[in-house]
Amino acid sequence: MALPPGLDPTDTESWVMPSWLAFAFPMILDVKTVVSESPIPPFNDGAEFEETVFLDSAPQAFRVLVGRDRFRLDYILEGWEENNKKYPAPLNVLTAAYAIHLDVNAKQSKGKYESNWGKFSELARDLETNPLNVFSYLKSWTRRQGVETPSINKIKLYAYYFYPCFDPYAEYDFQSETWKVTQKSQLNHPKELTERFRKFYRHAKKTGKQPIPANAILKPIDVAADIILKADTSFSDDALIDLVTAEVFQLMKRVHASRAEGRWMISNKEEELQAIRDFAEYFVVKVFNESFAGDRARLQGRQMNYIRNTCEYLYRLANYEERPLKEEEKTDDLDVDE
């Protein structure tokens, strides 16, 4: 595929369709593809290069998303492994990235549709930096719609279909309706945190279709982050675990006494305390100490926002899945309590 240089030979928009077609054509036809802006073809025929797809000097946005410029046929839909690191399938990456971009960045003004591909480079950098940005973009879409939370179908689309396209260590099994996540996955920490705090805490019930605020869902995580930020910097991990456990336990005492919004899930105090400690230990050791390298500033930065956004949507999905079957027939709104 030859692309005319035009006024800007590195224009991202000019590479959008050719790049996607370069990966799609070999899956449909028995062909090799080359995408180039050069008026002179890089190769005379497919026999001159071993791989199936070659992106000749693609813009940075595409390089960071697909990870390389030459691709074997099996890489297109299966990804590859190099230097003990897995890379996602490029056709899936581009398809999901395009869909997210058009969902979040495209706009309609004066009756004219604007795809706004100028923002695609930023989206590509964000997704390459951390695939959890998928949920950050879902949060951005939600704010643009002026609603508290998207529908269940929207969250499923981003979580079950889009997210695994960028994280080769995470896969959603639609038959068993469970996640297959390894410890290398960026989804691992939010998933573990959500499962742990849901054992002892849930949001307060709402009437009708009143939306559930994110802060009501994430109370245990916010309490844990806040107490670590306020704690003495000389405290050991064990001391921080004790502090987080005590603070979250106090929150649950207020919830039991109806002096704080929320619902308790465990009536036995000893069992509840153990569940809280499991959550506190994971937050302090795995998230704060290992993932954040003990840097308290990250508890107020983008990395914490990644975790909060992801935990929120994982919670909403789990909340929906626990609803009685009769409720599923009525609405796909996430904010109907189980």
Would you say residue 205 lies in a domain? yes
pLDDT in tens, 127-141: 999 999 999 999 999
Strand locations in 137-177 (E): 170-173
- pLDDT confidence of residue 10: 45
Query: For position 210, what pLDDT does the model report?
Result: 76
Q: Are residues 175 and 84 in the same domain?
A: no
Question: Residues 195, 51: one domain?
Answer: no
pLDDT of residue 324: 64
Are both 82 and 184 inside the same structural domain?
no
- Examine the domain organization and report whether 76 and 207 are in the same domain: no
pLDDT tens digits for range 47-69: 778 899 999 989 999 999 999 99
Domain membership of residue 109 (yes or no) is: no
- Within-domain flag for 2: no
- Domain C-terminal end among 42, 73, 95: 95
Alpha-carbon span 88 to 75, nearest angstrom: 8
Residue entry with tokens 């306020």: 230
Residue 79 and residue 187 in one domain: no
| Residue where a domain stops, chosen among 63, 95, 127 | 95
DSSP state of 296: G
For 72, residues 6+ apart whose C-beta sits below 8 A from its C-beta are 50, 51, 52, 80
| Last residue of one domain, picked from the residues 95, 129, 148 | 95
Domain assignment present for 241: yes
In a domain, 127, yes or no: no
Provide the pLDDT for residue 327.
Answer: 52
The verdict on residue 216 lying in a domain is yes
Residues 181-208, mean pLDDT to the nearest whole number: 93
The b-or-e profile of 198-227 (16+ CB within 10 A means b, else e) is bbbbbbeeeeeeeebebeebbbbbebbbeb
* Half-sphere exposure at residue 41, Cβ-oriented, CA atoms within 13 angstroms: 9
Write out the residue range of the structural domain in which residue 303 sits: 170-328
In a domain? residue 7: no
CA dihedral 20, 26, 27, 29 (to 10 degrees): 120
Residue keyed to tokens 């695939």: 131
CB atoms within 10 A of CB 278: 17
Residues 303 and 178 in one domain: yes
In a domain, 104, yes or no: no
pTM reported for the whole predicted model? 0.89
Q: How many domains does the chain have?
A: 2
Same domain as 301, residue 182: yes
Quick: pLDDT tens for 150-184. 999 999 999 999 999 999 999 999 999 999 999 99
CA distances from 142 to 101, 133, 151, 167, 309 (A): 14, 14, 10, 23, 12
In terms of domains, do 177 and 276 share one?
yes
- Residue written as token pair 């959500």: 194
